[in-house]
Amino acid sequence: MTSSGATIGTLSRAVGVKVPTIRYYEQIGLMSHADRTEGNQRRYTAADRDRLSFIKHARDLGFTIDDIRELLNLSDRPDTPCDAAHSIAARQVLVIQRRISQLQTLQSELSRIADSCRGGTSISDCRIVHALSDHSQCAHDHAHTEDAIVRRGA
């Protein structure tokens, strides 16, 4: 980044975040709006790059926008005790553990379904297609899976 600041494209490539994502983070207040040149081009500083890197890393770890906002607020006050940050991270560990458990259950279920089919039949006799159509044959809890899908917005 030059002393006059980096363009949004340069920042995007440096951190590995798409340009629309940077604009979104500005819109929701995770990042401040960049200064603009006389030609109305955004210019970002090294501090902006560091903040965006923080946000990207937190998103990669699965933190929610609200958690990231809180962590950023905490990081803006360096003398604050880190109890709140620890609490946020511990909560995220639990979320990940729950997700892993759900995925392991789904993996088992899918393996069981796939193993029930040896191929060589028509789709009308396919045990995989029948199992997917008939929830009573499932071993996993649909309520938790559907809750997870709704939370992800799928």
Same domain, 59 and 115: no
For residue range 28-51, list pLDDT tens digits in order: 999 999 888 888 888 999 999 999
Same domain, 89 and 147: yes
Helix/strand/coil for 6: strand
Average pLDDT over residues 63-82: 95
Same domain, 94 and 139: yes
Residue 44 backbone phi and psi in degrees, to 5: -110, 145
Same domain, 96 and 128: yes
pLDDT greater than 50 at residue 154: no
Q: Where are the alpha helices (DSSP H) in the chain?
A: 8-15, 19-27, 46-60, 65-75, 83-115, 127-133, 142-152
Same domain, 88 and 148: yes
For residue 3, is it within any domain?
no
4 Cβ contact list (under 8 Å, min separation 6): 37, 43
Same domain, 94 and 58: no
Q: Are 5 and 44 in contact (CB under 8 A)?
A: yes
Average pLDDT over residues 60-71: 97
Residue 78: pLDDT band with limits 50, 70, 90: very high
For residue 140, is it within any domain?
yes
Q: Residue 137: which region, alpha, beta or left (left: phi > 0; alpha: psi -120 to 50)?
A: alpha
pLDDT greater than 60 at residue 1: no
Percent of the chain surpassing pLDDT 90: 62
Same domain, 121 and 67: no
Cα radius of gyration (the chain): 23
Of the three residues 38, 58, 75, the one that is the final residue of a domain is 75
Nearest one of 27, 35, 38 to 8, comparing CA atoms: 35
Same domain, 67 and 87: no
Give the CATH number, domain containing residue 15: 1.10.1660.10
For residue 2, is it within any domain?
no
Same domain, 70 and 92: no
pLDDT of residue 3: 45
Q: Are 39 and 5 in contact (CB under 8 A)?
A: no
For residue 64, is it within any domain?
yes
Domain hosting 45: range is 8-75
pLDDT of residue 148: 52
For residue range 91-127, list pLDDT tens digits in order: 999 999 999 999 999 999 999 888 888 777 788 888 8
DSSP characters for 56-88?
HHHHHTT--HHHHHHHHHHHTSTTS-THHHHHH
pLDDT of residue 17: 97
Helix (H) or strand (E) holding 31: none
Nearest one of 96, 89, 99, 88 to 148, comparing CA atoms: 99
